[in-house]
Structure 1
Amino acid sequence: MRSEITDQELAESLFIVNRHAKTAPQPKHLYDIKKQAISKLLKENKARKVGLHFSEHPKYSKQHSTLLIEVGGYYFHIPAEKKDFDHLKHLGSVDQAYRNPKPKLSLSKAKRILYDYLDWDQPTKDRTTPASYQSSPSFLGQRNITPWNQRHKRK
């Protein structure tokens, strides 16, 4: 684990992971990283609960609220718990004019910073063979493939 990760590095890393999670085809792992990091930051008093916001994406057409968290000058939403409604002010709708600053950080570096902070091992993947190809007959050499420029030659 790296000696000391600053709150600013953590906030920027959370921003990058959260931004990528919003558009990822399988965002579960990215949201897990975000959730675990924010939970740890709250326990260490490096993050604070600001208040509640109405969700921009109601579930099943039912309005619900999310918890607004501040970390190093960046703001994030996470699901609210029942106790949050008793202790925090409801801020109404999200301010659409506000945007977090845009850090210059790659997703891989952001994940590495959060893994270090959480003391997690970096997951390893076999990048040479995507899972979708592993059972494919063409990938396993079980099919004869004719190069495109040799197909349908005129005589």
Structure 2
Amino acid sequence: MHKQSYPNQRKTDSPIESSIENLSRAIFTVNRHAKTASDPKFLYALKRKALEKLILEGKAEKKGLHFSRNPKNSQQQSDVLVLAGEYYFHLPPSKEDFANLPHLGELNDQYRNPKANMSLTIAKNLLQRYTNFHPTTNQGHSQKKHYQKPVFKKLGESYL
């Protein structure tokens, strides 16, 4: 008996294609999850690596600079606006970006990226395969810190 394939059946064994649409959808998914993750460093690094590679290959384009919505230390700050497929993303700017890109002013609240229906696992696997960037032992999953009881010294004793 042979296996019959149905059009709406999920293919779990074959990896998803690395097209610009799939990569931009995966970056969107990773970025959305990073905003609420307890340790988002790896997800943001994966997003940055994927966008940089897309820009390098000419598949994504830097459009300009936007004022950052949440600037550090209450000082005005700008982010680079990048277009990849149908999606817009922000990256930290380099010195060359300030010299070469136009400043677009405030962020447009009217625009929203299209919805992306992709699981975080699939998105991470696709981007890791595309960038060849994988978490190290202290990246990705934060390890639980062990509780250490406080040590109380007698009055006058040194803590050193």
TM-score of Structure 1 vs Structure 2, range by shorter chain: 0.7 to 0.9
Cross-structure match for 2:34? 21
- Across the aligned residues of Structure 1 and Structure 2, the Cα RMSD in angstroms comes to 2.2
* Bigger proportion of residues as helix: 1
Cross-structure match for 2:99? 86
Task: Return the match for 2:71 from 58, 65, 69.
Answer: 58
Written as runs of structure 1 = structure 2, the 5 A alignment for 1:123-134 is 131-132=143-144
Q: Secondary structure at the match of 2:51?
A: helix
1:119 deviates by 2.7
Q: List alignment gaps of at least 5 residues for structure 2.
A: 1-14, 148-160
Cross-structure match for 2:10? none
Task: Return the match for 1:38 from 25, 36, 51.
Answer: 51
**Relative to 1, partners in 2 of residues 1:100 and 1:52: Cα closer, same or farther, differing over 3 Å?**
same
1:131 deviates by 4.3
Q: Structure 1 residues 101-110 or 80-89, which shifts more?
A: 80-89
Residue 116 (structure 1) aligned with residue 129 (structure 2): yes
1:116 maps to a residue whose letter is R
Q: List alignment gaps of at least 5 residues for structure 1.
A: 125-129, 137-155
The 1-side partners of 2:113 and 2:41 are apart by 22
Q: Secondary structure at the match of 1:23?
A: coil
8 Å CA contact 1:51, 1:67 repeated in 2:
yes
1:5 deviates by 0.9
Q: TM-score, normalised by structure 2?
A: 0.74
Q: Percent identity?
A: 46
Q: What are the Cα deviations for residues 54-98 of structure 1, in whole angstroms up to 9, with x where unaligned?
A: 000011010010000000110000001111111111000000111
